[in-house]
Each structure stands twice: as structure tokens, then as C-alpha cells.
Chains A and B, each alone.
Chain A
Amino acid sequence: MSELLLEVKNLKVHFDTENGTVTAVDDVSFSVKQGETVGVVGESGCGKSVTAESILRLLNEKHTHYEGNILFEEKDILKFSYSELQKLRGNDISMIFQDPMSSLNPVYTVGNQIVEALLLHQNLTKKEAEVKAVEMLKLTGIPLPEKRVNEYPHELSGGMRQRVMIAMALSCKPKLLIADEPTTALDVTTQSQILDLINELKDEFNMGTIMITHDLGVVAEVCTKVVVMYLGQVIEEASVESIFSSPLHPYTQGLLKSIPHIEGPRDEKLYVIEGKVPTLTQIPKGCRFAPRCEFATELCRDKMPQLESYENDLKVRCWHFKDIQEKRGGLNGIRNESQTVNS
């Protein structure tokens, strides 16, 4: 159908720290096709942002070591020279960052910042670039773009700044957009505007999108495929329907059950995943989720499971997912319940 755009293969990212080397991303693999939105979810510290930043090689390489491959249109980004990277960044692959307050330069007008990207990557004169900048701002739904283009970031609200970021990211028609928590700093009504916008523009440009978020609601709304990460590893990969209707990994199940919903029955008590995420210096020997998992056995504590393929493109990293699924004939219980209530 649509062609493969990005393929991350067995990516490992090691950081040198005062306490020795830590591995923030450990054996992560996934792929993005044209026009597809892949959600990368997980709690803080699970390595989702590091994965995203490695794709553009934004991490300080003095202290960072990569292993594996990141293939963008079959070329390995990890082997790119500096000038090749420059051509790639902001042109073929763009990124939107979490915090629109600090990711714009406060001393340049927003127009200036969009024009900069255009002049770098496209064969345009300054005049043409300025016209294009206004066009891009208009596309993102900013009212009075002719006026806004000459304003400084501090004159804009959070939602507006995120729109400027999007305008900047999309100005060179990238093939791949990486959105790192693009709506986390925004209010819900603004968030829904921005998500709609990203969705519309994705269709218009036929971009592949990587949506990094901790909000499962956002995932359900915009993604087609989901990669769930825990402590630097992918623990489950599936289509968005399958993740929400029949999650395989106990962590994904727990995560889904512990969110308070705005619909469906109100539970007396929320489900709790006991304990906390271990730090990267104290990674468990076996399955990384084992110390917090209610189904953990000796095997789990002892040996690390691999990311296994299962029917219909599902992938899961768990020794016992089949048993657990059987044991919980009503694994989909909660989800199904809320669906019937809604319909």
C-alpha cells in the first residue's frame, strides 16, 4: 500500500554519566509508513523522547553512543555526516517540541524564524519565503497572519505558539513529522484544536507522523499504530484498536485500567500498578516489568523476554501473555463495558 518511510532497527542509546554508562533506549524497533501516525507511549523516563531525538540525532554525541540502525528511506541516519544531517533536519524530517514557550527564539519575530527554515532548505528568494511564511501561518489557522508574522513569540499565547511551531515544522513539506508531546503544555480546548490541525495537515501532506505522548486519550484520537515503551524497551506494538480492546502486556492493561475516565461507570477504586518505575541504573535482570507485575513468575524475574510477533502484526514482550489472556477471559471487560455504555 503505502511505502515504508522510517525503520528503527534494534536501536540502543547509551549515555555516559558520572555513574557509568546507562542505556536509556534498549533494543527499540518500529517502523513508520507514509501517511501513518504511530503513537509512542509510556511514562516519564521510559525513553520515548530519547528515541525521537535519536532519529534526528539531536543528542549531544560527545556523551551518547548509538547502536542499531535508523533507516530513513533506506539510508541509515546514524551514519550520516554533519552536512547530510543538516539537509535532513527540518526538511525531510521535522520535529515539534513539547514546550512552545521555550522552543521559539524570543528575539526574532515568528516570521523570521519560519523564513530561516525556508531559506536554508528551499530555493526561494527572501520575498518568496516571506510570502510562504504568511501562507503557512494561515494554514495553521492563525487569525490575521499578515500581522502575526511580524510579532515576537511573547506576544502570542501558548496555543498560537504551538501553531507557529507547526507552521515552521511543515514549511518545507517534510515526509516525516515527529511530535514530542505537542499538546501536553496546552489546555484541553486548545489541545483539541491542535490535534485536529495535525490530523488535517497530515492528510494534506501525506506525512508519516510519530506522536510521542503519555496521554492515551491523544493516542486513541490520532494514531493508527501504537508502540508502548517501558524502561527503555518496546513492550508492546499493535494497531490502536487492538491496544485498547485487547491489550496483551500486563503493563499496558494496567495503564489502561488506572486512568479515570470521563465516561462509563465510575469505579470506587482505581486500579493501581504497585511500586514505581526503577531507575536506569537499577534495571531488573529479567523482564523489566516483573517487580511490578501481578503475574510475574520465577522465569520472568530470571530471563528477559524478547519482543515476539503474534497474530495480525501484534508484538509483545512477555513470557506469559497467552496464559494471562486465557486466565482473564474478561480481559476486555472494562473496555467493553464502557463501550456498551457509550453506544
Chain B
Amino acid sequence: MVLEMSLKQSTPKTEASNDVILEVKNLKKYFPITGSLNNTVSQVKAVNDVSFSLIKGETYGLVGESGCGKSTTGRTILRLLEPTEGEVIYDGQNINKLKGNDLRNIRRELQMVFQDPYSSLNPRKRVGTILEETLKIHKMGNKKERTEQVMNILNKVGFQREHYYRFPHEFSGGQRQRIGLARALIINPSIIICDEPVSALDVSIQSQVLNLLEDIQQEFNLTYLFISHDLGVVRHISDRIGVMYLGKLVEESPTDELYTNPLHPYTKALLSAIPVPNPFVKREKIKLIGEIPSPVNPPSGCVFHTRCPFAMDVCKQDEPIMKTLDLEHKVACHLY
């Protein structure tokens, strides 16, 4: 057992030291709430000082409940939303400072797969045209080469040549999600941000898409930022996981460590709240009282103190800083 543990810790550590591919530093995204005169009355602090980094070839899972800012984080990294503050560093460049051509070039490396397979594909365009558009925007190849490339990528995600000419409505949810993945893959990116890619799918289809994501990752040596609220799915696919609550990253850890030894009280509550498909196990539940506070007026100190069963006086005043413990396990909590 001891041997096993030490083996497990050594792998992520060596990885961590070499290849950070993307670094997110103190990222903030505030949405203004405007009054009747279009003046900013207050702000929704959707992402509030989030820092983490992606290691080449890994899958980093970002989990949390709705409204915790996980999707906004993903979108802000790609600058689909303009960040309020902070840096996102890819290949030595701060993405947040880029403009025009430079930004477009970097987006060639960073692609996204969206949650809703029904609204993320243009219903009036053929699948081939949808995929080719990406190549056109990035001015890659001539017409013939582009068509060939699209055919290739369709093949990679399990379609035949004839699917090139079909419309999105002719496909099921799982198939559309594979088209979404093909669109992200076609310009050969190094990072794909997957925003809840399987949450709109049924269980039997979900496992098909998850397996495909893993195969593609191996083949193309991709790094994933995998955003999801489903802790089972995230556990299956991720190497490391960050847990978000109310715009903050509260815990970050390698996957197995997080599920066997969650540290933050929120992570503990979250894990214990999941209904496990096993009627023979009765688990101790940590019950959270009340609801997630509004991100317009997040609580002072630790954002979780209003619902935390272990809250102390210090939690109401001081914001906890992220501490690194053993096994690359990081937590922002006054208990540690």
C-alpha cells in the first residue's frame, strides 16, 4: 500500500516540473449590473481571482455547481468573454494582451467544445461547410486540401464520407457532439476546452463520447480543460481536478487523492451529496444548509463560511489563501 502511494505521487510531480502549457494567473471576470441610466450599479463576480495551470497532455477537470463560474472561466481563457483582470499565459504570451492576428493565431492552438450539441451547430449549413469554415478563417490550404482535411477528421471521429453533405438535424445528440469535437480538432490545436461536453447526453451515449475524447487525446497529444458538474465523469477522465465555489478555486488535487481524501469542507459535502448507484452502501452525508449566496455580494472572508459546518471566527474575516500540502494537493481553507 505504501509503495503504491509513493508511486502515485511521483508521477504527477515529475510532470508538474516540466511542461506547463497554459497558465492562468489571478483571472477575474466581473459582469456589470447596469441601472436605468446605463450606469454600473454593482458587479456579478463570476470569476474571482482564479489561478491554475495546465500540464501538457493532461486532462484538468474543473468542477462545481451551477453559477460557480466554471464555464465563465473556460470562456474567459479563450477570450470569448473579455477578462476583467488577470493573465492567461500560453507559449510565453499573455493571451489577454493580444489583438487581431496574434489573437487569431493563438486561437488556432486553443479550441472549445460546447455544451449544447443542438445550438452550437448552424442548422442551415452542411456539416462539411461547418467544419471547413474553421480552416477558411485560419486561411489553411486550398479548397481541395480543405475538403480532404474535413473528410479525414470526420473519419477520425467515426463518420463516413457521406456525412460531409448532411445537415446537423440529421444527427443525434451524441453524433452532433462528435461533430463539435471534429470542428475543434480540425486545425490541430494543442488545448481543447470542453465545456460540459457530455451533460446533454444519455448515459449510453455519454460513454461513447468520453471514450472518443480519450482516444483523440492520445492520438493528437492534446491537453484538455474539462468543465463539468458531474463528479463521476470528471473522476473518470481527469488527471487533476480543481473545485470551484462562488467564483473561487477552493481545492485542487490529483484525481485519486481528491476522491479518497477531500480536504475542503465544500468538496467533502459535494462528494457526499452525489447519489451513488449502489443501494448496498449507505454513506455518511455532510448536509449543507441553505443555498449558494449571490455572486453579486459574496460573503466576506471565506466565501463558503455561510454554509460551512466547520466555520470559525477567522473564516468570516480573512480570506484563506491556497496552500500546497502533500501530493500536490492544494486547498484554500483555514482548517489547514
Chain A residues within 8 Å of B, Cβ to Cβ: 43-44, 143, 157, 159-160, 187-193, 195-196, 214-221, 240-241, 244-245, 254-256, 258-263, 266-267, 269-274, 276-277, 335, 338-339, 342-343
Contacts and interface: CB of A to CB of B under 8 A. Distances in A.
B207 A271 contact: yes
B206 to A, nearest CB: 7
Interface string B221-237: 00000000111110111
B288 interface: yes
A258 B275 contact: no
A43 B203 CA distance: 7
Given A189-B273, A192-B285, A266 B65 contact: no
A19 B274 CA distance: 42
Interface of B is mostly: helix
A160 B172 CA distance: 34
Nearest to A279: B172
B277 interface: yes
Q: Ordered nearest first, which 8 A-B pairs have the shortest CB separation?
A: A217-B275, A260-B236, A187-B65, A258-B207, A43-B202, A270-B207, A216-B277, A192-B273
Contacts of B231: 188, 262
A192 B270 CA distance: 10
Contact of A262 (B66, B205, B206, B232): B232
Contacts of A195: 275
A270 B206 CA distance: 10
Interface stretch (B15-23, B118-126, B208-216, B295-303): B208-216
B280 to A, nearest CB: 6
A259 B211 contact: no
A217 B276 contact: yes
Interface of B: 65-66, 172, 174-175, 202-208, 210-211, 214, 229-233, 235-237, 255-256, 259, 269-271, 273-281, 285, 287-288, 290-292
A216 B280 CA distance: 13
B204 A263 contact: no
Contacts of A274: 208
Given A217-B276, A339-B281, A189 B65 contact: yes
B29 to A, nearest CB: 21
A148 to B, nearest CB: 13
30 contacts: A44-B202, A143-B290, A159-B291, A160-B291, A187-B229, A187-B292, A188-B65, A188-B229, A189-B270, A192-B274, A193-B287, A196-B287, A220-B276, A244-B277, A244-B279, A244-B280, A255-B204, A258-B204, A258-B206, A260-B210, A260-B233, A261-B235, A266-B236, A266-B255, A266-B256, A276-B205, A277-B202, A339-B278, A339-B280, A339-B281
Given A190-B291, A270-B236, A262 B276 contact: yes
A221 B65 CA distance: 20
Contacts of A276: 172, 174-175, 205
A189 B268 CA distance: 11
Contact of A338 (B275, B278, B292): B278
Given A188-B65, A193-B287, A260-B232, 18 more contacts: A188-B231, A190-B291, A191-B275, A192-B274, A214-B202, A214-B203, A221-B275, A256-B277, A258-B206, A258-B207, A259-B207, A260-B237, A261-B232, A263-B278, A266-B255, A269-B211, A270-B210, A273-B204
Instruction: Among A189, A195, A217, find the residue whose CB has the most chain B CB atoms closer than 10 A.
Output: A189
Given A240-B279, A269-B211, A188 B236 contact: no
Nearest to A159: B291
Instruction: Among B65, B207, B255, B275, find the residue whose CB has the most chain A CB atoms closer than 10 A.
Output: B275
Instruction: Among B172, B202, B233, B273, find the residue whose CB has the most chain A CB atoms closer than 10 A.
Output: B202
